[in-house]
Amino acid sequence: MVEQSIGKSVLRKEDMRFITGKGQYTDDINLRGQTYGYFVRSPYAHADIGDIDVSAAAGMPGVIAVLTGKQVAEDEIGGLPCGWMIHSKDGSEMKQPHHPVMAGSKVNYVGEPVALVIADSFVEAKNAAEMVDVDYMERDAVVYAETAQSAPIIHEGISANTCYEWELGEKDATEAALASAAHVTNYEFTNNRLIPNAMEPRAAIADFNTATEDLTLYTTSQNPHLVRLIMTAFIQLAPEHKLRVIAPDVGGGFGSKIFVYSEETALAWASMKLGIPIKWTAERSESFLADAHGRDHVTTAHLAMDEEGHFLGLKVKTTANMGAYLSTFASSVPTYLYGTLLAGQYKTPNIYVEVDAVFTNTAPVDAYRGAGRPEATFLLERIVELAARETGRDPVELRRINMIQPSEFPYQTPVALEYDTGDYEASLNRALKMADYDTFGERKAASEAKGKLRGIGFSCYIEACGLAPSQVAGQLGAGVGLWESGEVRVNPTGSVTVLTGTHSHGQGHETTFAQLVASRFGISVDDVEVVHGDTGKLDFGLGTYGSRSLAVGGSALSKAADKVVEKGRLIAAHLLDTDADKIDFDDGEYRVRDSNQAKTFQEIAFAAYVPHDYPLEELEPGLAEKAFYDPGNFTYPAGTHICEVEIDPETGVVEIDRFIAVDDFGTVINPMIVEGQVHGGIAQGIGQALLEGCVYDETGQLQTGSYMDYCMPRADDLPSFAVGLTSTPCTHNPVGAKGCGEAGAIGSPPAVINAITDAIGVRDIPMPATPEKIWRAIASTTRSAA
Amino acid sequence: MSISVSMNVNGKAVTQECPANTTLVDLLREKLQLTGTHVGCDTSQCGACTVHMNGRAIKACTILAAQCEGAEITTIEGLGDANNLHPMQEAFRECHGLQCGFCTPGMIMSAVDLVNREPSLDETIIREGLEGNICRCTGYHNIVRAIETAARKMRN
């Protein structure tokens, strides 16, 4: 009997290749006859393009071709579509500007591709790119969300630079709640713009075979089928069956590798035009300029409470910066991934949210780890904290008296979602214990005794994951279905090949999914191989984002495995000369109930492929099954994060003394992998709170365009984390899993800012809360006290 | 201008003709197909390209191949393979010190050097010692555990 591995920290199957340098990322692949592409990018945020003179570049050594945005327009390639239609409150459709694959007549952000130089070597392509002479006529740039609606127009026909004016919830009821409240807390703030910075820069190799007319695209994607669908159905580069997209080992994504970008599209077009393989790998400065950025919201919120502290209403107005164009899923982030989360863990009866999405001359903004949900959580957990302080309540108790109770599920929020299950106080209580909250006062006194300031901050978050019920997503404007596919192929020897439409770029699916399937069949995890990331091998899939892979993709695999078990039962019934309903399958064995007659899983597999003694008249040979799983609801991971900081008032430097995260992800397959996901999410959340901020100057030049200027969290910026799990399994998927990829980045930023403001005794501090800002805030409180 | 450079890479003598401005990482990746060493930035900040030169960690993106004339270079491929893992490689796996794997080779090479040159390690020293290597996946928590674990094995 093989030991069951569900719930066990099985070491990762994928690790051996990564720790020995045998991984294969896109840039590690080299094709015969490969050439190299380098993009000429706009140095201006907003300018008209006059002539483009490529003659000098074309004459440089090694140069094969120089293609420009003007040729893209002549060939009628593109533009890049946005896959989610949002309607404004007046019923009109969002305004979607043409998003050219390369700019031909006008550039709208610094870093926008204008031309592609193709040469025999990378160095030759890069050198020649400097010789491309583009005539720019500069215009005034529109940079910030706050001022975009009163600024010069970027896209002809899109008035006030406004993409949409969206709303959700009951306006009148919410305003009435605010008017009648005993107390209203107001909060105005910015959710800082971030640059994702997966450690592997984006890269692609496009390879068009002129004889077969097959186009193969190797690319750093979280969802290769989506790339194929968009490039074929929308951009119409090639027929869908002639484009194969391979996303090999991918070095992190965090959302930034969901989208279909200019570069791989231009490369595919160029490869077809020239009939040669072309490789492009971004330099990090290109990643800063041209990867989709994240967050960038400006928000005003009002929270109403009664005399006892019960929340009565929440009214929110947000302006979201979309950047210059709508990236692939940009429109959904500040709407259905944000407004719907504003109930949080609380029973707030009235919620109304308005969101204006605006265009600016900055890089497109789209989903980055959490995508909308960190913005909603930050708003809510900050305003709740402020409300507690304003009314002299313990911030924990204020949260507690407003929490939805376990007996109240399923719980319909006023912002469209129906939470299926949860136990929020269980996570809160566990986190308080792990944080030693009871003795916080003693630690605070000890810090004060040595001239330091200590504070504690809480964040009780919820998120909606497992994207998504296709019918609901379709009603809300999604251009694609959001189910997932899974295939379980039992090989004749009884080993298993699993194919999933999700994509692993650090999440460890090759191990988790193997555990899931191995446990179902009672076989060893080593006997299961997981295949993903190649449209040539898999039917279809929607990829990995929104913490969906186990909840949706795992559920598809679970259903496919069920089908295998049932077919195996029929084969076993034949071999054991009995009825299928008399056979139990357990621990890898089909056994006739109340007897010692049995066949192993391996024997059944062999019989299926060597059908000498087999019910061929009733059953096809072979043992491989597929399933497509479309979820019935979103999943709702939730938890409590607690941050305790000690601050040196002389320098403003924050030391995170402890960070506790207790999360309810439902059923956990591999706790080691789940904890790793939480650690990474927290690091990105602390990065947002303390270190990271994308800065454009007023002319639209990116000021934080390298690791010298954009502060990435490093090992000595972070503490060790204390992570705990509670579990209320998801009620509507067969795995019981809710998803864990984004929780860390969602829950942590408000916990950090609540802790800092608690320590230094100020109402608010903008993110990133750098030592300078903290030092100035402390100085201002000292001055006002004096 | 093309030059000839000779060095020892992972125990093998190597002589290559390359342009004079070829960096070590380009020589390793493009000429020798040792693609375990990665490039994650263009400002010598991320550390994904870290290799050992004469036993000390260096960033292979910031040194010319010509400067490595006669040197002993060790890359992740030379540190240990699947049948003979270095304790640091083993510890990264055991402690889940990696996720996407992209920063991992550089992180492991830095960590080996850190253990070799620091007589005693604690969490603070390890975290400060990793200052030149960026990981976006793990939050460093399990990398620190891995280095503590490997250091114990390496010292025994």
Q: Per the CB < 8 Å rule, is B46 touching A199?
A: yes
Question: Would you say A243 and A215 are in contact if contact means Cβ atoms under 8 Å apart?
Answer: yes
**Chain B residues lying within 8 Å of A20, measured CB to CB:** 36, 76-77, 80-82, 85, 89
Question: Would you say A696 and A757 are in contact if contact means Cβ atoms under 8 Å apart?
Answer: no
Question: Residues A198-224: what's their mean pLDDT?
Answer: 98
Q: Is the pLDDT of residue A168 over 80?
A: yes
Q: pLDDT tens-digit profile of A405-421?
A: 999 999 999 999 999 99
Q: Which CATH number applies to B2-79?
A: 3.10.20.30
**Chain B residues lying within 8 Å of A285, measured CB to CB:** 42
Question: Residues A198-218: what's their mean pLDDT?
Answer: 98
Q: Per the CB < 8 Å rule, is B141 touching A706?
A: no
Supply the pLDDT for residue A781: 87
Rg, C-alpha atoms of chain B: 15
Q: Per the CB < 8 Å rule, is A718 touching B81?
A: no
Both A641 and A754 in one domain: the answer is yes
Question: Chain B closest CA to A267's CA: distance in Å?
Answer: 21
d(CA A538, CA A534): 6
Q: Is residue A92 part of a domain?
A: yes
Q: Tell me which residue of A554, A448, A435 sits closest to A501, measured CA to CA.
A: A554
Both A425 and A360 in one domain: the answer is yes
All CATH 1.10.150.120 domain ranges of chain B, comma separated, are: 87-155
Optimal mutation site among B136, B138, B147, B149, interface A, most CBs of chain A within 10 A: B136
Q: Is the pLDDT of residue A786 over 60?
A: no
Question: Would you say B150 and B90 are in contact if contact means Cβ atoms under 8 Å apart?
Answer: yes
B107, two tokens: 């992180």
**Chain A residues lying within 8 Å of B43, measured CB to CB:** 284, 706-708
- Percent of chain A past pLDDT 90, that is, above it, reads 97
Both A99 and A231 in one domain: the answer is yes
Q: What is the DSSP letter of B71?
A: -
Q: pLDDT tens-digit profile of A287-329?
A: 999 999 999 999 999 999 999 999 999 999 999 999 999 999 9
In one letter, which amino acid is A2?
V
Phi, psi of A173 (to 5 degrees): -65, -40
How many other β-carbons are positioned within 10 Å of the β-carbon of residue A775?
18
Q: Tell me which residue of A89, A692, A641, A664 sits closest to A339, measured CA to CA.
A: A89
Beta-bridge mates of residue A206: A217, A278
Q: pLDDT tens-digit profile of A711-768?
A: 999 999 999 999 999 999 999 999 999 999 999 999 999 999 999 999 999 999 999 9
Supply the pLDDT for residue A758: 98
Question: Residues A343-355: what's their mean pLDDT?
Answer: 98
Q: Per the CB < 8 Å rule, is A28 touching B35?
A: yes
Nearest by CB to B36, from A22, A506, A718: name it: A22
Q: Helix (H, G, I), strand (E, B), or coil: what is residue A774? A: helix
Q: Is the dihedral of CA A769, A770, A773, A777 positive or negative?
A: positive
Q: Reply yes or no: is the peptide bond before residue A129 cis, omega within 30 of 0.
A: no
Question: Residues A194-198: what's their mean pLDDT?
Answer: 98
How many other β-carbons are positioned within 10 Å of the β-carbon of residue B132?
17
Q: pLDDT tens-digit profile of B23-75?
A: 999 999 999 999 999 999 999 999 999 999 999 999 999 999 999 999 999 99
Secondary-structure breakdown of chain A: helix, strand, coil percentages, each rounded to the nearest 5: 30, 25, 40
Both A65 and A204 in one domain: the answer is yes
Question: Chain B closest CA to A318's CA: distance in Å?
Answer: 29
Cβ-Cβ contacts under 8 Å for A581 (sequence gap 6 or more): none
CATH number at residue A209: 3.90.1170.50
Phi, psi of A321 (to 5 degrees): -85, 115
Nearest by CB to B131, from A12, A25, A714: name it: A714
d(CA B15, CA B27): 11
* Residue A785 banded pLDDT, cuts 50, 70, 90: low
* Residue B109 banded pLDDT, cuts 50, 70, 90: very high
Both A690 and A750 in one domain: the answer is yes
Supply the pLDDT for residue A2: 76
Both A576 and A529 in one domain: the answer is yes
Q: Put the strands of the sheet holding A583-586 in their side by side order.
A: A583-586, A589-592, A598-600
Q: Helix (H, G, I), strand (E, B), or coil: what is residue B43? A: coil
How many other β-carbons are positioned within 10 Å of the β-carbon of residue A507?
27
Nearest by CB to B102, from A14, A252, A683: name it: A252
Question: Chain B closest CA to A268's CA: distance in Å?
Answer: 23
Q: Per the CB < 8 Å rule, is A706 touching B138?
A: no
d(CA A662, CA A68): 52
Between chain A and chain B, the number of residue pairs with CB atoms below 8 A apart is 185
ipTM of predicted assembly, 2 dp = 0.99
Optimal mutation site among A13, A14, A20, interface B, most CBs of chain B within 10 A: A20
* Residue A261 banded pLDDT, cuts 50, 70, 90: very high
d(CA A44, CA B10): 46
Q: Is residue A171 part of a domain?
A: no
Q: Which CATH architecture has domain B87-155?
A: Orthogonal Bundle (1.10)
Both A780 and A667 in one domain: the answer is yes
Both A643 and A604 in one domain: the answer is no
Supply the pLDDT for residue A420: 97
Number of domains in chain A: 3
Which range of residues forms the domain containing residue A114? 31-139+200-251+257-290
The residue out of A602, A629, A656 marking a domain boundary is: A629
d(CA A265, CA A238): 11
The answer, for B85 touching chain A at a CB cutoff of 8 Å, is yes
Q: Per the CB < 8 Å rule, is A17 touching B130?
A: no
d(CA A106, CA A102): 10
Chain B: residue whose CA lies nearest to A677: B138
d(CA A397, CA A310): 11
**Chain B residues lying within 8 Å of A673, measured CB to CB:** 96
Both A531 and A608 in one domain: the answer is yes
**Chain B residues lying within 8 Å of A681, measured CB to CB:** 139
Residue with token string 């305004």: A95
**Residues 477 through 536 of chain A touching chain B, CB cutoff 8 Å:** 505-508
Question: Would you say A746 and A681 are in contact if contact means Cβ atoms under 8 Å apart?
Answer: yes
Strand (E) or helix (H) holding A454: strand A453-462
The answer, for A709 touching chain B at a CB cutoff of 8 Å, is no
Q: Per the CB < 8 Å rule, is B101 touching A249?
A: yes
Both A521 and A579 in one domain: the answer is yes
**Chain A residues lying within 8 Å of B141, measured CB to CB:** 679, 718, 720-721
Both A103 and A245 in one domain: the answer is yes
Supply the pLDDT for residue A1: 63
**Residues 80 through 119 of chain A touching chain B, CB cutoff 8 Å:** none
Q: Is the pLDDT of residue A160 over 60?
A: yes
Chain A: residue whose CA lies nearest to B142: A676
Nearest by CB to B77, from A21, A197, A251: name it: A21
Q: Whats the size of chain A, residue-wise?
A: 786
Nearest by CB to B42, from A23, A250, A283: name it: A283
Average pLDDT, chain A: 97
**Chain B residues lying within 8 Å of A22, measured CB to CB:** 36, 77, 82
**Chain B residues lying within 8 Å of A294, measured CB to CB:** none
Q: Per the CB < 8 Å rule, is A506 touching B37?
A: no
Chain A: residue whose CA lies nearest to B124: A716
Supply the pLDDT for residue A3: 76
d(CA A610, CA A608): 6
Q: Per the CB < 8 Å rule, is B42 touching A199?
A: no
pTM of the model: 0.98
CATH number at residue A327: 3.30.365.10
Q: Is residue A225 part of a domain?
A: yes
Q: pLDDT tens-digit profile of A461-508?
A: 999 999 989 999 999 999 888 999 999 999 999 999 999 999 999 999
Question: Chain A closest CA to B90's CA: distance in Å?
Answer: 8
A533, two tokens: 């990331």
d(CA A7, CA A525): 13
The residue out of A594, A629, A664 marking a domain boundary is: A629
Nearest by CB to B139, from A22, A25, A721: name it: A721
**Residues 102 through 141 of chain B touching chain A, CB cutoff 8 Å:** 102-105, 108, 123-124, 126-128, 130-131, 133-141
Question: Residues A685-709: what's their mean pLDDT?
Answer: 98
**Chain B residues lying within 8 Å of A706, measured CB to CB:** 41-43, 45
Question: Would you say A679 and A722 are in contact if contact means Cβ atoms under 8 Å apart?
Answer: no
Q: Tell me which residue of A300, A277, A282 sits closest to A292, measured CA to CA.
A: A282
**Chain A residues lying within 8 Å of B111, measured CB to CB:** none
Q: Is residue A11 part of a domain?
A: no
All CATH 3.10.20.30 domain ranges of chain B, comma separated, are: 2-79
**Chain A residues lying within 8 Å of B94, measured CB to CB:** 11
d(CA A68, CA A55): 12
Question: Chain B closest CA to A582's CA: distance in Å?
Answer: 43
Angle between helices B87-94 and B104-117 (to 10 degrees): 120
Q: Per the CB < 8 Å rule, is B80 touching A27?
A: no
Chain B: residue whose CA lies nearest to A712: B134
In one letter, which amino acid is A128?
A
* Residue B1 banded pLDDT, cuts 50, 70, 90: confident
Both A285 and A333 in one domain: the answer is no
A394-407: burial string, b at 16+ Cβ within 10 Å, e else: ebbebbbebbbeee
